[in-house]
Amino acid sequence: STSSQVTKRPAGNDNKSVESNQSKEPTLIEQWKEHYNNRDFTTKPYHLHRMGVFSFFFCLLAVPVYCIIFVLPTLGLTAVEFAGFLFIILFVMAETFMNFMACINRHHDKDIVYCFHCNQPNQVVTAAAAAKPTRMQEGWRACPHCQRDAPPRSHHCKICGECVLRRDHHCYFTSCCIGHHNQKHFLVMCVYSTIGLSMGICLTSINLTDQFQLPGNLFLPVTLWRLFSDYSYLVNVVLVLSVYLQIGCLGVTCVYFFLETVLVLRGQTFFEMGCNLRRYNLGVWDNMRVALGDWYHWPLLLLYPIDSKQAADGAEWLITKHC
């Protein structure tokens, strides 16, 4: 009887244990905290990135190599003229690639370009946010994705998973955002890409018309029809497709170069242009200094992607108009 009394437990203890287990379940706030702490900020693979990078390097490497090996020797150039063409092609290739890498390096430099990267806040942004601890400065806002105060003109990129200072747009050719510290390199890359693509289109088209003695080879339907009748036209099809690819890339490059130039002169970003915001317009000269740096560095940017000091740090902005 004593053993049965010892092992016997009241029914109320079972209810208390069930209640204690239920009370251990995380609350909604705890679930949100866990969700934000376990967020993945790594860049996700996108098919547009693959297409953009492939198109860029195809036009940067394959087309110039073809023109140097197969096109230039057939133009009847002298040794000096051939060397001049070769120097121009290699120079444009080098400048385009260096500015391409500058866009990526400036983008992934977490102490310069990003407002914050995961849990690593930018020093400039942290100092600016601490300057007014009692109230949020005009233009600052809380980013729900990064859970930090974002400076004016910065925006969160869902593809990169980060907020970018003075974010303009996400470029699929470079697989990164174009923002405050790499916009100048993007502009120079557009300049040399336009020159290189124009040369590639002209040289490839000349080679097609001279090799096959038929201007109709430049039209894709004609080329495909001849391919089915004679498989020796396979090389011609590849060349025609490369011309169309270069034309498409040239069109995109010219459009972006024109838009970026207008935005720099007006002191705007793509988002601000869409919302018709002109509150940060300092005038043409100062707008160029904000985007490109000091004026005596501008010629050097065309020769080498230097990191010129800009007239703004990307976190503090002077508001000229409340509109």
pLDDT for the residue numbered 25: 78
Q: Which is nearest to 181 in space by CA: 143, 137, 124, 126?
A: 124
According to the model, what pLDDT value does residue 195 have?
96
Quote the pTM value.
0.78
Strand partners, 143: 148
Q: How many CA atoms lie within 13 A of 91 on its CB side?
A: 12
pLDDT exceeds 70 at position 203 = yes
For residue 31, what pLDDT is reported? 74
Q: What is the b/e burial string over 261-270, where b = at least 16 CB atoms within 10 angstroms of the residue's CB?
A: eebbeebbbb
Instruction: Flag whether pLDDT at 22 surpasses 60.
Output: no
The encoded tokens of residue 288 equal: 């160029």
What percent of the chain shows pLDDT beyond 70? 72
Mean pLDDT of 28-53: 72
Count of CB atoms situated within 10 Å of the CB of 214? 14
What pLDDT shows up at residue 44?
61
Among 15-24, 181-190, 265-274, the least confident range: 15-24
- What's the confidence (pLDDT) of residue 17? 53
Contacts of 212 (CB under 8 A, 6+ apart): 236
pLDDT of res. 267: 92
DSSP 109: -
Give me the pLDDT at residue 151, please: 87
Kindly state the average pLDDT of the residues 116-121: 41
In the chain, where the domains are located: 47-113+182-301
Residue 277 has pLDDT above 70, yes or no: yes
Q: What's the confidence (pLDDT) of residue 191?
A: 96
Q: What sign does the CA torsion over 292, 296, 299, 302 have?
A: negative
